Structure 1
Amino acid sequence: MTIPPSAPGTPAVTPADQGVGPLLRAWRERRRVSQLELALRAGSSARHISFVETGRSRPSEEMVLKLAEHLDVPVRERNALLLAAGYAPRYPETPLDDPALDALREGMERLIRGYEPYPALVVDATYNVLAANRGITLLLEGLPESLLTRPPNAMRLTLHPEGLAPRIRNFRQWRGHLLAQMERQIALHRSAALRELYEEVAAYPVPESATGGEPAEPVPYFALPMQIEHEGRTLSFVSSISTFNTPMDVTVAELAIETLLPADPATVKYLHSLV
């Protein structure tokens, strides 16, 4: 199942007219790095960092990018820092259906197809599903069309009471894991769109069928599994998320490939029986 990307990218949440100094200071404090430590990392001085943050010194374009790198600022927000400092954005935001990304898109689709019969999907920065394989389609069978409207959202599909939530046997535990994951991403990316999604899905009622905080079965697994009912049997998966190293495009930087690895022999045997 391939889904054309139709949702716009997550907008930067920091106004360019705030000035680069306060923005850099906010990122430094968010990362809990002192001015001296940042200066040592960037080959500068604490005095210069202080001058930049207070607006007494205008950093060069190179220095803005160097500080952003050492503060692990997301690519989209690096553009916002450059704009605030009076420079042009460095990183383009290419639509995923642009011919320039044909090879990347085809490679991702080939990757998730090759992962079958195990589930795999590609999501953007706000968990909109851009592509999914037949393993994912299997898990989504029977969900209402309202949740599958393009582009479907992985968090809504999983946590909505009309979605997968009633089928997940250890739902409270899995829900807690997903919400904590989103909280970590909000702290890193400062995304208003992600915050809005978090508030929406966190407010969903927990299905009455959801079990308590413990998994439905004892879990001798190496990682927390999602235990989901499918046609009278319980399938168990652990999740792995991959992103691109050193991306130079906002769109590519915000892509993630999630794979669901079978967590027990019974799940492996069942999925292979469907091939």
Structure 2
Amino acid sequence: MLIHLAENMDVPLRERNRLLLAAGYAPRYQDQRWDDASIAVVMDGLRRLLDAHLPYPALLLDDHWDVVDANAAVDQLLAGCAPALLESPINVVRVCLHPDGLARRIGNLPEWGNHLLRQVSHRAERTHDPRHCELASEIAGYLGKPDAAVPPTGPVITLEIDVDGNLLRFFSASATLSTATDTALEGLHLETFLPADDETRRLFDQR
């Protein structure tokens, strides 16, 4: 009955394990380390997707937006960030919006920042995970009072970021493992960035 209710309420696998433990049952879902042999083939496949996305940036993130892996193109975006923000685990949301991170180079910071804040706040409301709640509170502090009047500037929200004096515009696409039965794998998502205009495509293809 617990499993049936959890499935219908879309409860994350890690929380289902906690429900089972609280009810006196053994956890049902595995929770492996990224380097565990049992999930090696899955991790290898995901890393191949990262490399296949070159020359454009792509990251593999856990459910707290910590970087598990990334392709080489991401290094170009992170250049100039404070070293403390790039110590493991690197939280990509914090790096984006921290004053010593990418915030000073993001041309549409209110729009992009509010987009990230909505994502983190939504997940915090869904999971009640203290780390999600703390992250939402932290980045809200970086943004100040949200500007609800910021109008959309195109068909999708883009990241406008200065790289070596060039304003690059990307839109992002996210993919998850819909068939995961391991709690760590369930939280993984592949975040890929694609050029939002011809100039960005041209500049990045030359790198």
In the superposition, the TM-score normalised over structure 1's length comes to 0.71
Structure (1 or 2) with the greater strand fraction: 2
The 5-angstrom pairing of residues 5-24 of structure 1 reads: none
Separation in 1, partners of 2:155, 2:143: 29
> Where does residue 135 of structure 2 map in the other structure?
197
> How far has the Cα of 1:204 moved from its partner?
2.2
- What CA RMSD, in Å, does the superposition of the two structures yield over aligned residues? 1.5
Gaps of 5+ in 2: none
* 1:202-258, Cα deviation, whole Å (9 max, x unpaired): 21266xxxxx9468xxx3x32111111111211001111111113111100111110
> Where does residue 64 of structure 1 map in the other structure?
2
> Where does residue 79 of structure 1 map in the other structure?
17
The 5-angstrom pairing of residues 1-275 of structure 1 reads: 63-204=1-142, 213=150, 219=153, 221-274=154-207
Separation in 1, partners of 2:39, 2:15: 22
Give yes or no for contact 1:161–1:205 (8 Å, CA) kept in 2. no
List 4+ stretches of structure 1 deviating above 3 A: 212-215
* 1:87-121, Cα deviation, whole Å (9 max, x unpaired): 11100110111122211111111111110111100
In the superposition, the TM-score normalised over structure 2's length comes to 0.93
Larger radius of gyration: 1
> Where does residue 24 of structure 1 map in the other structure?
none
3-state SS of 1:196 partner: helix
Q: Which amino acid aligns with 1:140?
A: L
Give yes or no for contact 1:242–1:258 (8 Å, CA) kept in 2. yes
Give yes or no for contact 1:159–1:175 (8 Å, CA) kept in 2. yes
> How far has the Cα of 1:166 moved from its partner?
0.6
Separation in 1, partners of 2:188, 2:196: 25
Separation in 1, partners of 2:143, 2:199: 31
Give yes or no for contact 1:170–1:214 (8 Å, CA) kept in 2. no
3-state SS of 2:54 partner: coil
3-state SS of 2:169 partner: strand
Separation in 1, partners of 2:37, 2:102: 35
Q: Which amino acid aligns with 1:258?
A: E
Separation in 2, partners of 1:176, 1:166: 15
3-state SS of 1:76 partner: helix
